[in-house]
A and B are shown apart, each in its own frame.
Chain A
Amino acid sequence: MARLAQLALPFAALGGIGPTNFGERVRTMKVRVHVSLKNGVLDPQGRAIHHALEGMGFAGINDVRAGRLIELDLADDVTDAAIDEMCAKLLANQVIENYRIEKVS
């Protein structure tokens, strides 16, 4: 039963194409979530990038920290509180990461 429900999910996600919504313009907004490692959390990936840049001959690099950018395309009635909850509950792990929400449009 559970597996059937999962199969059905992608079709539910396409609900906006259903006949009742046909022709309606759905207003959306783009949100960028910037996820970065907290200060003090070792970033081996950033360190490797740092070394690579220096190996390529670039000078003056004091530090490199690698993060993650997640772009969300949302219906414009999604609340700020809901976006914040998405970040806190899944998009960032607050044990090690900070996040910043940027509304693009």
Chain B
Amino acid sequence: MGFTAAVITFPGSNCDRDMAVAIEEITGGTVHRVWHGDSDLPQGLDFIGLPGGFSYGDYLRSGAMAARSRIMQAVIEQAARGVAVLGVCNGFQVLTEAGLLPGALLRNDGQKFVCRDISLTVGTSQSLFTNGFFKDQKITIPVAHHDGNFYADAATLDRLEGEDRVAFRYAEPVNGSQRNIAGVLNDAGNVLGMMPHPERMIEAAHGGSDGRVVFESVLRAVGVAA
């Protein structure tokens, strides 16, 4: 069986189609679109994508309501079984709110919504999602967020760095994130949350294709022929 993925749509998600298209194009696999109110995910998933957007209108805190939606129980179970889970932007916020990733995403320190191409540094090439990059590689991927200011206490930040769990850092000031963190991995390495949008940088028409490598890395790591 080929690569099988699910992309979750919450009310207010707006990058779900982009993520589904990116996965389909890059992996040649099957992408199931799953509604937040569903209880179950399809069987045999290799990958789950939590897309960007403004789930539940960012009520209470960004990602807070989505993290408690019905489908997230199934996502948490699949993550515990080792399925690759990628949360982009609002998806990252949902993953921290759901407790699948440490830290929290605060309002940008400049108070403004930031929407532009950003230079990033790859923090590690030793992960499901970044094995196609080399460490310290400079890449360009766009961001579009208001609450991307990554916060965790110093002990957690030290642990993330010590365990090689910082996947990406901003190579320029963007939002006030602690230690310029743009993306972090969970302790098992199968859950990645990142504020930049790899699905928006997958072909020349986007101005670059550095984002492709994230999906190619997963495909390679999962070892499923496209």
Contact = CB atoms under 8 A, between A and B. Distances in A.
Chain B interface mostly = loop
B175 to A, nearest CB: 10
Interface of A: 2-3, 6, 41-42, 44-45, 48, 89-91, 93, 95-96
B38 interface: yes
B105 to A, nearest CB: 9
Nearest to A96: B104
Contacts of B106: 41-42, 44, 96
Contact of A42 (B35, B37, B176): B176
B55 to A, nearest CB: 14
A95 B104 contact: yes
A93 B106 CA distance: 11
Given A2-B70, A41-B151, A95-B96, 16 more contacts: A2-B35, A2-B39, A3-B35, A3-B37, A41-B106, A44-B107, A44-B108, A44-B109, A44-B149, A45-B107, A45-B111, A89-B68, A90-B60, A90-B68, A93-B61, A96-B151
Nearest to B103: A95
11 contacts: A2-B70, A3-B37, A6-B37, A41-B151, A42-B151, A45-B111, A90-B64, A93-B61, A95-B96, A95-B104, A96-B106
A47 B212 CA distance: 38
Nearest to B112: A44
Contacts of A91: 60
Interface string B43-66: 000000000000000001100100
Contact of A95 (B38, B60, B107, B152): B152
A44 B60 contact: no
A83 to B, nearest CB: 16
Given A95-B103, A95-B152, A42 B109 contact: yes
B97 A93 contact: yes
